[in-house]
Amino acid sequence: MSRQLGVGLYGAGNIVHDGHAPAVAAGVSTRLAAVCDIDEARARTLADAYGGANIYTSLDKMLADPSVDIVIMATPNNLHRRDFEACARAGKHVLCEKPLAVTYPDAIAMARIAEEHKIVLKTGFNQRYLNQIRMAKLAIEAGLIGEVFSFRTVFSAKWDNWVDGSNFRWDLERSGGATTNDNLIHRFDMLRYLLDDDYAEVVADVSHCVIPPVVDDNVHLMVRTNKGARGSFIADRYSPVLGDATELYGTKGSLSFWTNAGSPFFDVPLAINTTVPMNELPEPISKAVYPTARSKQNRHAWDGWLSIWPPRNEWDTYAEQLAGMAEEILSGTRDGIGATGFDGARATELVHAAYSSQIARAWVSLPLADDAPFAFPDFEGHGYDAKAGRS
Ligand SMILES: NC(=O)c1ccc[n+]([C@@H]2O[C@H](COP(=O)([O-])OP(=O)(O)OC[C@H]3O[C@@H](n4cnc5c(N)ncnc54)[C@H](O)[C@@H]3O)[C@@H](O)[C@H]2O)c1
């Protein structure tokens, strides 16, 4: 068996519990070496659940542990930049949870520090590994929908659906935002990944309307990309998920996928409309078309529509993400799916630019300067008072 990489979990909160710790245990080339959290009991409970590991309450001590090769950083967002630098100096590879940082200057600095110290830095955009996203990427690359000039995406998630252990999301300074920087940032990455494109301009309405903490809970963005596509991003944090679809409109067809919603309207994970005949579809797609009889007997899909039901792999995405990173460290082969530090910085850049647009009430051009000034929009006084009506 090839070398196993020791993983140090930094932060033993919810996403480590649900996603990263099982991923480390499932990996053939990874093993759990250490767990570090300011809450020692939390670190110990997690380590014990996986057969034991070194326990730390200080990052510096974990970084001095030679059995740790990779640090999975899953602490509140405002700590990522500072702590990443310590990891890089110690020569540890880092899988940093999204968002890489709160501001674009911090995020781009992290990507550059990784290069300087020759360590692998990955950003935890695990949703790239969802099977329906892999197939959407394949469909776009195979030309099934032609050139995309328009897209729209929705991400609603009620604020008390995901309970984090340290309650950091509702504190702007610690999270950098509860909707744009927490959820919508997944889509910022996903769209630029799928389209192999970058954002050129954004205009945003980032507001606080409903929930008790004064954070962004209702967000609308319009963007233009370098290749000329126009798109809109809509997200809220006050309502249960109704739809979380992403739709791409191309010159030869269109596609729509759902990410991980559990609403009754979550029907087909990926739907493609294309003029490409069935027998010319890339194999993973033709195998996942439902019903299969249609793909075997008809050259063309009914009215051009293909319903794709890939195997569901929501929680396996963490293992696939880590396996790709481990392979890259061990063999030097770049994992083609995983988001790099620069990918993470580009997504943070759109959050930063959206806030700047809200403050300026104007379109903002990208790329931003490496030292672009950052400020939070003023959410105070823009909320909804149920008794008084709109303030
Ligand atoms: N990829 C995804 O879809 C996804 C999903 C959820 C969370 N996340 C990201 O993971 C990170 C953690 O989120 P969570 O929901 O697990 O939060 P959480 O509050 O449940 O966990 C954070 C942990 O960090 C610990 N911590 C806080 N300050 C610390 C410090 N100074 N030193 C050491 N430990 C410290 C806390 O004790 C807690 O155990 C965030 O960056 C979040 O954006 C990503």
Q: Are 186 and 97 in contact (CB under 8 A)?
A: no
Q: Which residues line ligand 1 (CB under 6 A)?
A: 11-15, 37-39, 42, 74-77, 79, 97-98, 124, 126, 164-166, 168, 182
Bond into 22 cis (ω within 30) = no
Q: Please state, in angstroms and rounded to a whole number, the distance separating the CA atoms of residues 289 and 53.
A: 44
Closest Cα partner for 13 from 177, 166, 157? 166
Q: Is residue 334 part of a domain?
A: yes
Which atom belonging to ligand 1 lies closest to the Cα atom of 166? 19
* Residue from 71, 127, 164 to probe ligand 1 pocket by mutation (most atoms less than 8 Å from CB): 164
Apex CA 181: angle with CA 26 and CA 148, to 5°?
85
State how far the Cα of 22 lies from the Cα of 9, in Å rounded to an integer: 11
Co-location of 137 and 99 in the same domain: no
Q: Is residue 258 situated within a structural domain? A: yes
Examine the domain organization and report whether 60 and 135 are in the same domain: no
Domain-ending residue, one of 308, 326, 357: 308
Residues 6 or more apart in contact with residue 355 via CB below 8 angstroms: 177, 180, 204, 206, 374, 375, 376, 377
pLDDT score for 382: 55
Give the count of domains, the chain. 2
Identify the residue whose tokens are 């469909």: 139
User: To which residue do tokens 């389209």 refer?
Assistant: 195
Provide the β-strand partners of residue 109. none
Q: Longest C-alpha distance within the chain, in Å?
A: 67
CA distance 177 to 188: 14
Is residue 220 domain-shared with residue 139, that is, in the same domain?
yes
Backbone angles phi, psi at 113, to 5 degrees: -60, -40
Please check whether residue 42 lies inside any domain of the structure.
Answer: yes
Residues 253 and 328 in one domain: no
CATH number of the domain encompassing residue 303: 3.30.360.10
Alpha-carbon dihedral angle through residues 109, 110, 113, 117, given to the nearest 10 degrees: 180
Best mutation site among 17, 75, 98 for ligand 1, i.e. most ligand atoms within 8 A of its Cβ? Answer: 75
213 and 70 both lie in a single domain: no
Helices (H), the chain: 14-15, 21-26, 40-49, 59-63, 80-89, 104-116, 131-141, 172-175, 185-195, 283-288, 292-297, 317-331, 341-360
Q: Does a structural domain hold residue 374?
A: no
180-239 pLDDT tens trace = 999 999 999 999 999 999 999 999 999 999 999 999 999 999 999 999 999 999 999 999
Q: Are residues 34 and 123 in the same domain?
A: yes
Structure token digits, residue 315: 């929680």
Same domain, 196 and 78: no
CA 176–ligand 1 middle distance (angstroms): 13
Residue type, 92: K
The list of the chain residues with pLDDT below 50 reads 293, 295, 384-391
Among the listed residues 100, 67, 299, the one whose alpha carbon sits nearest the alpha carbon of residue 188: 100
| In a shared domain, residues 100 and 41 | yes
- Domain presence at residue 351: no
The amino acid sitting at 285 is I
Closest to 77 measured CA to CA, from 178, 175, 188, 177: 175
Determine the residue type at 235.
A
Q: What's the pLDDT at 291?
A: 63
What pLDDT, on a 0 to 100 scale, did the predictor assign at position 287?
84
In a domain, 372, yes or no: no
Whether omega before 76 lies within 30 degrees of 0, making that bond cis, reads no
3-state secondary structure of 169: helix
**Which amino acid would we find at residue 6?**
G
**Which range marks the domain in which residue 169 is found?**
131-308
Residue 79 per-residue DSSP state? G
Task: Give the distance (Å) from ligand 1 centre to CA of residue 11.
Answer: 6
Q: How far is the CA of 44 from the centre of ligand 1 (A)?
A: 16
Task: Decide if 308 contacts 301 (C-beta within 8 A).
Answer: no
- Same domain membership, residue 326 and residue 299: no
Based on the domain organization, do 139 and 262 belong to the same domain? yes
Q: How many angstroms does the Cα of residue 18 sit away from the middle of ligand 1?
A: 12
- Here the CATH number for the domain that contains residue 64 is 3.40.50.720
SS3 assignment, position 263: coil
C-alpha span between 176 and 105 (Å, rounded): 14
Domain boundary among 262, 284, 308: 308
Residue nearest to atom 31 of ligand 1 (CA): 38
Query: 271 and 321 in one domain?
Result: no
Tokens 């309970």 belong to: 163
Predicted local distance difference test score (pLDDT) of residue 387: 45
Query: How confident is the model at residue 389, as a pLDDT?
Result: 45
User: Token pair of 21, please?
Assistant: 């710790």
Write down the pLDDT at residue 289.
Answer: 83
Does any domain span residue 371? no
pLDDT at position 390, please? 43
- Co-location of 12 and 135 in the same domain: no
Q: Which atom number of ligand 1 is nearest to the Cα of residue 318?
A: 1
Please check whether residue 31 lies inside any domain of the structure: yes
